[in-house]
């Protein structure tokens, strides 16, 4: 009866009910209709709460994975209620992704390597790697039997947008877990995929170990920099100290060495060809032209940008036509370094801070809005390094905005020290342990980093204009910083 009620309510679901949810990425699509492509359920191990798995196509928005169950019609989160019953107003079809019954069912199915047949395709649940092990706690006291409390904790991420192929977060995470000794990450413990009737596969969920942490490095640095702005000094063991930032650089260096060592299809290492470099630069120039157009539109609306952002925007627009020549270097030389699978969207928010001051890199999905084939493509490790440098810039500039005039130069000086400390820690790890991954010439290494810093900053301009125009000065200043550094190198 419960599954029949789920199907009945699913028919009642309005597209807008899903579009209101945080996970719906196509909010501007105007999707007003949808169709059910596939359905499986109730899932084994979901207990007394039936859980079904739906594959839904929204007109103009694409295909989504939506786990559903029955629950209260009184929502405590937007987008949770998908449809209500006309007979029983207290019974509703709700999104199940954060429900205990769904998590228990999926984790149990992963542990048992189970398949669940759907109407047309099937869902495959797989355990990855060996037994994740238990955390044991001895119970003190005198007992007639020996007692140990054992527990396991995990993180379950549900992917909503169905993209053809295996999600890089699953693919890269599993490869690191199974083929390397890299431990500064959250190991992948399980995965779930949807297999269509034609044999095509789509990632729908991944289970990783729960890494003990005190939050991500972005938040920790923000707190530390705010304290720095007030007191004018950093603690010796602060996450913003040269030592900590250098250790973070070494962690990313070890990540790249581990990724370069994986010898399975879809991974490995190979030479960076001039043709690939030209493609990246052409893509950057297209992005720059689009950014200049967006900036002109913003300047046409007085007051949309701050006075400082407007001044920087005009300088960026003025520099855009000369970007090709200003970012050019000799690609005829044989030593351009190598390409490997990279993180793809690396920044301070993707790194957890452990209680002991160590780090754990998470979320290998890549830029969410980029096509899957682009996210899976090998790239220069300079892409990740540039992402980190841009993140330091954001940390410093956002602290300067909060400081409201205090310690402005001190925060700018910290950014320069952080960049130097990170690069020193990174290259101290990579150049000593691997030859060929980067160009031998420091100038060529910096040229690669500049290319990807520029690409990242141009992406940030589009994001900030759409979401936080008050922050637009941060990527604008970053672009000019890259260009000025390049001009200084040429002088």
At 137, the pLDDT band (50, 70, 90 cuts) reads low
Q: What is the dihedral of CA 354, 357, 363, 366, to 10 degrees?
A: 170
Spatial separation of the C-alpha atoms in residues 282 and 334, rounded to whole Å: 20
Task: Mark whether 324 and 222 lie in a shared domain.
Answer: yes
Task: Mark whether 292 and 410 lie in a shared domain.
Answer: yes
Instruction: Output the CA–CA distances (angstroms, integers) from residue 28 to 31, 60, 160, 463, in the order listed.
Output: 8, 10, 17, 15
pLDDT at 224: 93
Q: Give the CATH number of the domain where residue 286 resides.
A: 3.90.1200.10
* Strands (E) located in 122-219: 122-127, 135-138, 148-151, 154-158, 188-195, 201-209
Of 96, 112, 131, the residue that ends a domain is 96
Task: Mark whether 122 and 53 lie in a shared domain.
Answer: no
pTM of the model: 0.85
Q: Which of 351, 413, 342, 346 is nearest to 379 (CA)?
A: 342
Spatial separation of the C-alpha atoms in residues 423 and 429, rounded to whole Å: 10
413: containing domain: 217-490
Crossing angle between the packed helical segments 242-261 and 382-403, to the nearest 10 degrees: 150
Task: Identify the weakest region by mean pLDDT among 76-80, 259-263, 332-336, 443-447.
Answer: 76-80
Is the model's pLDDT at 349 over the cut of 80? Answer: yes
Segment 432-455 shows an average pLDDT of 92
pLDDT at 338: 97
Task: Mark whether 38 and 108 lie in a shared domain.
Answer: no
Model confidence pLDDT, tens digit, residues 34-81:
999 999 989 998 878 899 999 999 998 899 999 999 988 765 665 688
Task: Mark whether 452 and 334 lie in a shared domain.
Answer: yes
Is the model's pLDDT at 135 over the cut of 80? Answer: no
End-to-end CA distance of the chain: 77
The proportion of the chain whose per-residue pLDDT surpasses 70, expressed as a percent, equals 91
Task: Mark whether 134 and 282 lie in a shared domain.
Answer: no
Task: Mark whether 204 and 239 lie in a shared domain.
Answer: no
Domain count, the chain: 3
Average pLDDT along the chain: 89
Task: Mark whether 348 and 224 lie in a shared domain.
Answer: yes
Is the model's pLDDT at 472 over the cut of 60? Answer: yes
- If one compares 86 and 225, the residue with the highest pLDDT of the two is 225
pLDDT at 348: 98
pLDDT at 153: 82
Task: Mark whether 116 and 63 lie in a shared domain.
Answer: no
Segment 137-151 shows an average pLDDT of 71
Task: Mark whether 274 and 311 lie in a shared domain.
Answer: yes
pLDDT at 236: 59
Of 67, 96, 125, the residue that ends a domain is 96
Segment 271-286 shows an average pLDDT of 91
Of 39, 66, 96, the residue that ends a domain is 96
Q: From the CB of residue 471, how many other CB atoms can be counted at a distance below 10 Å?
A: 19
Is the model's pLDDT at 100 over the cut of 70? Answer: yes
Crossing angle between the packed helical segments 274-299 and 442-467, to the nearest 10 degrees: 30
- In sequence order, the 6+-apart residues with CB closer than 8 A to the CB of 139 are 147, 148, 149
Segment 225-247 shows an average pLDDT of 85
Task: Mark whether 293 and 230 lie in a shared domain.
Answer: yes
pLDDT at 271: 95
The proportion of the chain whose per-residue pLDDT surpasses 90, expressed as a percent, equals 61
Task: Mark whether 349 and 306 lie in a shared domain.
Answer: yes
């Amino acid at each position: 009866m419960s599954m029949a009620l789920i199907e009945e309510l699913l028919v009642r679901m309005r597209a807008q009910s899903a579009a209101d949810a945080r996970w719906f990425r196509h909010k501007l699509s105007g999707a007003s209709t949808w169709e059910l492509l596939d359905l499986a359920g109730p899932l084994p191990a979901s207990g007394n709460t039936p859980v079904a798995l739906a594959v839904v196509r929204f007109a103009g928005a694409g295909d989504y994975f939506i786990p559903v169950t029955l629950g209260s019609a009184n929502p405590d989160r937007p987008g949770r209620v998908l449809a209500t019953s006309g007979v029983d107003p207290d019974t509703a079809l709700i999104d199940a992704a954060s429900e205990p019954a769904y998590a228990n069912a999926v984790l149990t199915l992963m542990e048992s390597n189970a398949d669940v047949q759907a109407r047309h395709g099937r869902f495959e649940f797989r355990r990855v790697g060996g037994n994740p092990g238990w955390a044991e706690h001895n119970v003190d006291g005198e007992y007639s039997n020996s007692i140990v409390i054992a527990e396991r904790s995990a993180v379950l991420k549900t992917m909503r947008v169905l993209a053809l192929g295996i999600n890089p977060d699953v693919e890269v995470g599993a490869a690191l877990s199974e083929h390397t000794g890299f431990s500064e990450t959250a190991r992948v413990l399980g995965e779930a995929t949807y297999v269509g009737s034609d044999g095509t596969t789509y990632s729908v969920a991944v289970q990783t170990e729960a890494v003990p942490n005190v939050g991500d490095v972005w938040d920790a640095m923000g707190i530390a920099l705010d304290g720095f702005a007030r007191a004018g000094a950093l603690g010796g063991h602060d996450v913003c100290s040269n030592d900590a930032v250098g250790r973070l650089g070494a962690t990313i260096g070890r990540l790249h060495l581990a990724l370069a060592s994986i010898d399975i299809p879809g991974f490995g290492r190979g030479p960076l060809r001039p043709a690939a470099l030209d493609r990246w630069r052409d893509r950057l120039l297209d992005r720059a032209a689009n950014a200049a157009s967006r900036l002109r539109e913003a300047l046409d609306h007085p007051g949309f940008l701050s006075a400082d952002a407007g001044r920087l925007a005009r300088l960026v627009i003025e520099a855009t036509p000369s970007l090709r020549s200003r970012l050019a270097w000799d690609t005829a030389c044989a030593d351009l370094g190598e390409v490997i699978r990279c993180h793809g969207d690396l920044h301070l928010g993707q790194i957890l801070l452990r209680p002991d001051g160590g780090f754990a890199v998470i979320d290998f999905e890549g830029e969410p809005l980029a096509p899957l084939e682009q996210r899976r493509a090998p790239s220069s490790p300079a892409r990740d390094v540039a992402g980190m440098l841009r993140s330091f810039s954001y940390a410093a500039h956002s602290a300067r905005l909060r400081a409201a005039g205090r310690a402005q130069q001190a925060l700018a000086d910290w950014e320069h020290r952080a960049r130097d400390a990170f690069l020193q820690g990174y290259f101290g790890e990579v150049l000593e342990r691997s030859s060929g991954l980067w160009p031998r010439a420091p100038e060529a290494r910096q040229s690669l980093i500049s290319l990807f810093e520029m690409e990242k900053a141009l992406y940030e301009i589009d994001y900030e204009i759409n979401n936080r125009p008050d922050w637009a000065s941060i990527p604008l200043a970053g672009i000019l910083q890259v260009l000025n550094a390049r001009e200084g190198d040429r002088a």
